Amino acid sequence: MIGMRLVEWDDIERAAGHLKDVALCTPLLAAPWAGPDLWLKPENLQPIGAFKIRGAYNAMACMSAEARARGVVTHSSGNHGRALAYAARLFGVPATIVMPVGSPRIKIDAVRALGAEVVMVPPAERLPSMLAIVEERGMSPVPPFDHLDVIAGQGTIAAEILSQMPDVEVILVPVGGGGLASGVSAGIKSRRPEIRVIGVEPEFAAETQAGLRGGELRHWSTADTYRTMADGVRTAPSPLTFAHLQAYLDDIVTVTEEQIGSAVGYLGRDGHLVVEPSGALGVAAYRYRRDALPAGRTVAVLTGGNLDPERFAELIVAPPLP
């Protein structure tokens, strides 16, 4: 899309100002159990248990007061919906969250607990359902990733990493809709283009890897992508996020379901963190796909921690992959 505006450093700095008292500046944690040069950025410790608070709140902060007052609506497999419900409550306005059937119960319950309305639909109807609500009720849409203010909010993670570890060499980010990977890679490349930003996808939902290699956006069927346990990254980028990833992301590596599950177990046993499968993609890549990654001081962004406790209990006791 020629002429499409991409996120710039100024957008990220403005977002950081909005988020100052809302999002936690998550620490970088050494992870000697995974390797000598890996640090974790535990976004699962954000108030809603995921980085999504950054983009959702920033988008609401950037709206006109009038648009905000009409309430907000989104579609989300869970974490963005929860983030928007949380942000709407902070602003004191209503929120409606369209969620796909198959979302983890813990994510659905959490959205309801924040006082938002939940509308359940089949996965393929997420976007049209949201647009219908915008039309019928006049609510302001805050899409999970297809929005510059959302991308800029996620990009504040890049600003934090640069100030916490100026000599970082590699950053690993999960890729689903691509909001996080867009914001982080745009931020990093605008300041420090020599730092490598690598996306990580499950093999079952590697449409972005395929798209970047083929030079155009791909959409895999939900029958395919819903085979991965990493429910946060089953979606494909939009033209806007795809343009960011084409411009700024260095590469994408993929991991298997076994590697993802094993990484969740390691993070629980040795990292003392409850991380959802999508959030463990970077650690899975570092642990099992080291050959495919650049060497050097590496930060893996742990995107969230919202998974059903029964699933986590299975993964923390399962024997790890060697």
Q: How far is the CB of 255 from a copy of itself (least distance, A)?
A: 21
C-alpha distances in Å from residue 209, one per residue of 24, 31, 69, 224, 274 = 31, 27, 39, 15, 27
179-191 vs 9-19: helix axis angle to the nearest 10?
A: 120
| Cβ atoms < 10 Å from Cβ of 32 | 9
Q: Is 272 in the site for a copy of itself (CB under 8 A)?
A: yes
Contact 229, 255 (CB under 8 A): no
Torsion of CA 121, 127, 133, 136, to 10 degrees: -120
Nearer to a copy of itself, 282 or 305 (CB): 305
Nearer to a copy of itself, 238 or 303 (CB): 303
Window 49 to 68, contacts with a copy of itself (CB under 8 A):
49
| Cβ atoms < 10 Å from Cβ of 64 | 9
Question: How many Å apart are CA 1 and CA 213, to the nearest integer?
Answer: 17
Residue 255, amino acid: V
Nearer to a copy of itself, 3 or 32 (CB): 32
Nearer to a copy of itself, 70 or 269 (CB): 269
Using CB under 8 A, which of 17, 27, 138, 193 touches a copy of itself?
Answer: 27
309-317 vs 257-269: helix axis angle to the nearest 10?
A: 90
Using CB under 8 A, which of 26, 77, 185, 241 touches a copy of itself?
Answer: 26
Nearer to a copy of itself, 199 or 282 (CB): 282
179-191 vs 239-248: helix axis angle to the nearest 10?
A: 40
Q: How far is the CB of 174 from a copy of itself (least distance, A)?
A: 16
Q: Is 309 in the site for a copy of itself (CB under 8 A)?
A: yes
Using CB under 8 A, which of 4, 5, 30, 128 touches a copy of itself?
Answer: 30
Q: Is 36 in the site for a copy of itself (CB under 8 A)?
A: no
The one segment of 4-12, 62-70, 217-225, 265-273 that binds a copy of itself by CB under 8 A: 265-273
Using CB under 8 A, which of 37, 47, 119, 297 touches a copy of itself?
Answer: 47
Residue 232, both tokens: 């946060």
Question: How many Å apart are CA 249 and CA 238, to the nearest integer?
Answer: 15
Q: Is 106 in the site for a copy of itself (CB under 8 A)?
A: yes
Summarize as ranges the residues that interact with a copy of itself (CB under 8 A).
Answer: 24-27, 29-30, 32, 42, 44-45, 47, 49, 106, 265, 268-275, 305-306, 309-310, 312-314, 316-317
